[in-house]
Amino acid sequence: MTETPPEHADILIIGAGPVGMTLHLALAAGGQKSLLLDRRAPQAQQGDPRALALSHGARQLLEQINSWPSRAATPIETIHVSQKDGFGRTLIDHQEYALPALGYVVRYRDLAGALAARLASDAVLSEAEVLDVTPGDEHVTVSLRHAGQRRRIQTRLLVHAEGTPGDDPAVKVSDYDQHAVICEVTPTPGHNKRAWERFTPDGPLALLPLGDQFSIVFTLPPAKADAVMAMDDDTFIAALQAQFGQRLRFAKPGPRSRFPLALRLRDTLVDGREVWIGNTAQTLHPVSGQGFNLGIRDAWQLAEVLLRNGLDAGQLATYAASRRLDRRGSAFFTDQIVRSFSNDFGPLKLARGLGLLALDLFPPARHFVAKRMIWGARAWP
């Protein structure tokens, strides 16, 4: 393998997923160059089966970097929250917030495609394998293999946006013992731009309007997820129907995929000239669709701090301090929902029913939950 002379980049971002690309484009909008690096080929993202619920706030940020995939986005006008075999339900309606929608549902591949379309041709080193990262006082050196060559890139700031981390002693992992089985189904009657969040003892079941279909996130203990993955289409629809109830009828299920679920929280976001953002900083349960909405706020805030204050390593601490409330609050919010709703314990079921009823009858509580979905941390007083 040939070795090329050392190269320089002011900012190197490892991971050209939606969060890494957002950071690159937000920096570019402020006149700051950065280089993206990804181990996959660009078209690999087109195979991602996820659909993401994006908040109104995320739409506004994406619009500022001309990356809002408007034609691929389905608005959510109402959200219906309930529990299986229990009383209490709440309905959140966009009209109460004077917004065109509470949020939007977009396929991961369409979001990634809209961001990638804004990148310059030399913005990303694709199919690059990081071999080594060496921290230093003045710069970080990243050694990598790319197109048959060994390259070394010295950078003033190294941003990690590699997505969900593997084993890493700096990351606390709390397993939910749940897997998400995802799939698209056709409802009758139509979805009417309504999203459903239904809590069951197995885990939350989410139905997100997407085009004419629902994108389903069916959360189950691992053994039940094995069974659901192995079912033929008719048996799968019957299982979904049993979990959801009979208010809508489902048909024509698309291919199924599964994701094991755990809360992964990185203790510290900064180490010298390195910083961690997006899923690599925090990976949350998909309930209430917070993950990318939080990651885009990471990217945006980091770009703002660096554009305002310059690339001094000390600015990373300013960034980390500014993200504490949002990331801890979002992790706590989703974690509490999953843990208090995913069981069949009688007294808790009663408390949950009363909670849902209270949300419905007590507008300030409902507004708090709705604003968390719409704006994230800005919901806090």
Ligand X SMILES: Cc1cc2nc3c(=O)[nH]c(=O)nc-3n(C[C@H](O)[C@H](O)[C@H](O)COP(=O)(O)OP(=O)(O)OC[C@H]3O[C@@H](n4cnc5c(N)ncnc54)[C@H](O)[C@@H]3O)c2cc1C
Task: Give the one residue of 53, 225, 303, 338 binding ligand X; rule: CB under 6 A.
Answer: 53
Measure the CA angle with vertex 176, ends 333 and 59; round to 5°: 45
Q: How far is it, in rounded angstroms, from Cα 22 to Cα 24?
A: 5
Residues 6+ apart with CB under 8 A from 353: 83, 86, 87, 88
Beta bridge partners of 315: none
Is 40 a binder of ligand X (CB under 6 A)? yes
Nearer Cβ to ligand X, position 253 or 289? 289
Task: Give the one residue of 16, 35, 205, 337 binding ligand X; rule: CB under 6 A.
Answer: 16
Question: Binding string to ligand X for residues 154 to 183, with x set by CB under 6 A, is what?
Answer: -------xxxx---------------x-x-
Contact between 229 and 244 (Cβ < 8 Å) = no
Nearer Cβ to ligand X, position 209 or 295? 295
Give me 332's structure tokens: 């706590």
Task: Give the one residue of 13, 15, 194, 320 binding ligand X; rule: CB under 6 A.
Answer: 15
Is 142 a binder of ligand X (CB under 6 A)? no
The distance of closest approach from Cβ of residue 225 to ligand X in the complex, given in angstroms and rounded to an integer, is 12
Nearer Cβ to ligand X, position 3 or 168? 168
Q: How far is it, in rounded angstroms, from Cα 208 to Cα 234?
A: 21
Is 270 a binder of ligand X (CB under 6 A)? no
Task: Give the one residue of 12, 13, 19, 303 binding ligand X; rule: CB under 6 A.
Answer: 19
User: Which span sits near ligand X by CB under 6 A: 50-58, 61-69, 239-247, 266-274?
Assistant: 50-58
User: Which span sits near ligand X by CB under 6 A: 14-22, 25-33, 232-240, 246-254?
Assistant: 14-22
N- to C-terminal Cα separation, the chain: 57
Which H or E run includes 7? strand 7-14
Residues 6+ apart with CB under 8 A from 241: 249, 250
Question: Binding string to ligand X for residues 286 to 305, with x set by CB under 6 A, is what?
Answer: x--xxxxx-x----------
Task: Give the one residue of 97, 259, 333, 368 binding ligand X; rule: CB under 6 A.
Answer: 259
Question: At CB < 8 A and 24+ separation, what contacts does 91-100 make?
Answer: 91/360, 92/366, 92/369, 92/370, 92/373, 96/363, 96/367, 96/370, 97/367, 97/370, 97/371, 97/374, 99/56, 99/374, 100/75
The distance of closest approach from Cβ of residue 197 to ligand X in the complex, given in angstroms and rounded to an integer, is 11
Q: Is the peptide bond before 189 cis (omega within 30 degrees of 0)?
A: yes
Give the amino acid at 31: G
Task: Give the one residue of 67, 90, 279, 315 binding ligand X; rule: CB under 6 A.
Answer: 279
Task: Give the one residue of 37, 92, 195, 216 binding ligand X; rule: CB under 6 A.
Answer: 37
The distance of closest approach from Cβ of residue 351 to ligand X in the complex, given in angstroms and rounded to an integer, is 26
Q: Of 206, 181, 202, whose CA–CA distance to 191 is shortest?
A: 206
Nearer Cβ to ligand X, position 52 or 305? 52
Is 36 a binder of ligand X (CB under 6 A)? no
Q: How far is it, in rounded angstroms, from Cα 125 to Cα 198?
A: 42
Which 216-235 positions form the footprint of ligand X (CB under 6 A)? Answer: 217
159 phi, psi to nearest 5 deg: -105, 125
Residues 6+ apart with CB under 8 A from 321: none
The distance of closest approach from Cβ of residue 374 to ligand X in the complex, given in angstroms and rounded to an integer, is 13
Nearer Cβ to ligand X, position 206 or 359? 206
Is 375 a binder of ligand X (CB under 6 A)? no
The distance of closest approach from Cβ of residue 180 to ligand X in the complex, given in angstroms and rounded to an integer, is 4
Give me 182's structure tokens: 């995802």
- Where do contacts with ligand X occur on this chain (CB under 6 A)? 14-20, 37-40, 50, 52-53, 130, 161-164, 180, 182, 217, 259, 278-279, 286, 289-293, 295
